[in-house]
Amino acid sequence: MKVLITGGGGFLGRRLAARLLQRGTLGNAESREEKIERITLFDKIPVSGFDDPRIRVVTGDASDPATLDEIVDAATDSIFHLAAVVSSQAEEDFDLGLSINVDVSRRLFEACRKLGHRPKVIFTSSLAVYGGALPELVRDDTALAPKSSYGVQKAIVELLLSDYRRKGFIDGRVFRLPTISVRPGKPNKAASSFASGIIREPLNNAPSVCPVKPDEQLWLMSPRQAIECLIHGHDLGAEAFEPWPVLNLPGVTVAVREMVEVLGKVAGEAATRLIRWEIDPTIQRIIHSWPTRWDMSRARQLGFEGDPDFESIVRAFIKDDMAG
C-alpha cells in the first residue's frame, strides 16, 4: 500500500503516520490487509522526526498544482486529506480558507480522478458544517447550515467528494471529527483551541484563558481515538458508505464546567485556579452554533468507537503526551 497524508506535518497527520507505521498494514480496495510500503507526508512545513524507510517527506504548498500532481502518483492507493486552514484562521482570512480548504481539495480529487484506479480518499470534516436550528439529535444527514467560513468550506468539500465518489472517480469517505482534545503543544488558530488549552496549560502549571461560558457544551474526542476511527473508516468496505459517504464520529458531549471539574479531580483544585474566564464574543458565538447532541447509531453499527468519558481523555493525554 502506498499512502499519502496531506497535512502530514500537522497534529493529526503526524499521529496518523506514527500509528500506521506501528500497524504496518491497511485494508486495500478489497478490504484485505496489505503491507504499507510507503507513507508520503506532504506539508508546507518540513516534517522531521520520522526515522523509518517507509516515510517519504515532501515539503510544498498544496495550492501549487504542480506539487499536487507530483505527490498524487500512479502508485497512490490511499489518501488521508488532512491539510487545512483551521476555523479561526479561515474566518479571519477568507481568501486563504477558500484557496486551501476548497480549491486544493478540488484539485486533489481531480488528480485522483486522473489516476483512473479509484483511490481511497479520506477527508476530515467538522461539526462546524452544522448551525442554526437543529433537531434534538443531529444525524449524518441533518441539513447543513454552517455559521463560519470554515464550516461552509468543509460542507462544500463534503458534497464535492460525494459527487466524485458517485461518479466512480474516487472511493471517498468523509469523517466529521468532534473537537480533538487534548491537543499537545501550543494553542492553534481553531476557535476550539481552548478546549485543549484549559486542560493542557494547567496540567503544565501554566495559566489558561477560557473564552466561553462554563455551561457551553463541547463534543470531544481524544487524538488517540480519532486516529483509530480514521483507520477503521479507511479499512471498511466501500459498501459501508452507501448511500451517503459522510459520517459523524462518536464524540463525548461535555460542558466546559465539567471539563474543569475533571481537571480538578485529576490534577487537584489548584490546577483549576489557573483558568481565567474571559468571554470572547466571536469564539462564544462560533462554539455555541455547534451541535452537542447526536444520533450515533450509524457510526456504532459500522464499528466506530468513541472515548468512554472526558476523564479517560485527560488521562490518555497525560499518558501519551506528558510522559516524563
Ligand X SMILES: NC(=O)c1ccc[n+]([C@@H]2O[C@H](COP(=O)([O-])OP(=O)(O)OC[C@H]3O[C@@H](n4cnc5c(N)ncnc54)[C@H](O)[C@@H]3O)[C@@H](O)[C@H]2O)c1
Angle between helices 310-321 and 223-235 (to 10 degrees): 100
The C-alpha cell that represents 321 in the structure block? 503526551
Q: Tell me how far, at minimum, the Cβ of 174 lies from ligand X, in Å.
A: 11
In the window 32-61, what residues touch ligand X (CB under 6 A)? 43-45, 61
In the window 118-137, what residues touch ligand X (CB under 6 A)? 124, 126
With contacts defined by CB under 6 A, name the span among 79-87, 114-122, 227-235, 244-252 that binds ligand X.
79-87
Q: Tell me how far, at minimum, the Cβ of 206 lies from ligand X, in Å.
A: 20
Nearest-5° Cα angle at 145, 141 to 150: 105
**DSSP state string for 31-92:** S-EEE--EEEEEESSPP-----TTEEEEE--TTSHHHHHHHS-TT--EEEE-----HHHHHH
Contact between 151 and ligand X by CB under 6 A: the answer reads no
Provide the residue count of the chain.
324
Comparing C-alpha atoms, which of 188, 198, 178 is closest to residue 317?
Answer: 198
In the window 157-186, what residues touch ligand X (CB under 6 A)? 177, 179-180
Between 99 and 272, name the residue whose CB sits nearer to ligand X.
99
Rounded Cα–Cα distance for residues 15 and 9 (Å) = 9
Question: For the purposes of burial, counting CB atoms within 10 Å of the CB of 30, is it exposed (0-12), middle (13-18) or buried (19 or more)?
Answer: exposed
130 is catalytic: no
Contact between 13 and ligand X by CB under 6 A: the answer reads yes
Between 34 and 110, name the residue whose CB sits nearer to ligand X.
110
Contact between 62 and ligand X by CB under 6 A: the answer reads yes
Rounded Cα–Cα distance for residues 222 and 306 (Å) = 8
With contacts defined by CB under 6 A, name the span among 9-17, 114-122, 241-249, 316-324 that binds ligand X.
9-17
Contact between 246 and ligand X by CB under 6 A: the answer reads no
- Quick one: which of 17, 84, 254, 299 contacts ligand X (CB under 6 A)? 84
Rounded Cα–Cα distance for residues 174 and 172 (Å) = 7
Rounded Cα–Cα distance for residues 141 and 154 (Å) = 15
Between 116 and 128, name the residue whose CB sits nearer to ligand X.
128
Contact between 82 and ligand X by CB under 6 A: the answer reads yes
Rounded Cα–Cα distance for residues 156 and 168 (Å) = 19
Measured at CB, which residue is nearest to ligand X? 10
Selecting among 150, 241, 294, 304, the annotated active-site residue is 150
Between 5 and 203, name the residue whose CB sits nearer to ligand X.
5
| Maximum separation of any 2 CA atoms in the chain, in Å | 58
Contact between 83 and ligand X by CB under 6 A: the answer reads yes
Q: Tell me how far, at minimum, the Cβ of 302 lies from ligand X, in Å.
A: 19
Helices (H) and strands (E) in the chain, counts: 13, 14
Between 165 and 176, name the residue whose CB sits nearer to ligand X.
176
The C-alpha cell that represents 160 in the structure block? 464535492
Comparing C-alpha atoms, which of 159, 180, 149, 181 is closest to residue 286?
Answer: 149
R_g of the chain, CA atoms, integer Å = 19
Site size toward ligand X (CB under 6 A) is: 24
Q: Tell me how far, at minimum, the Cβ of 63 lies from ligand X, in Å.
A: 5
Contact between 4 and ligand X by CB under 6 A: the answer reads no
Residues within the interface to ligand X (CB under 6 A): 7, 9-13, 43-45, 61-63, 82-86, 100, 124, 126, 177, 179-180, 188
Task: List residues with catalytic annotation.
Answer: 150
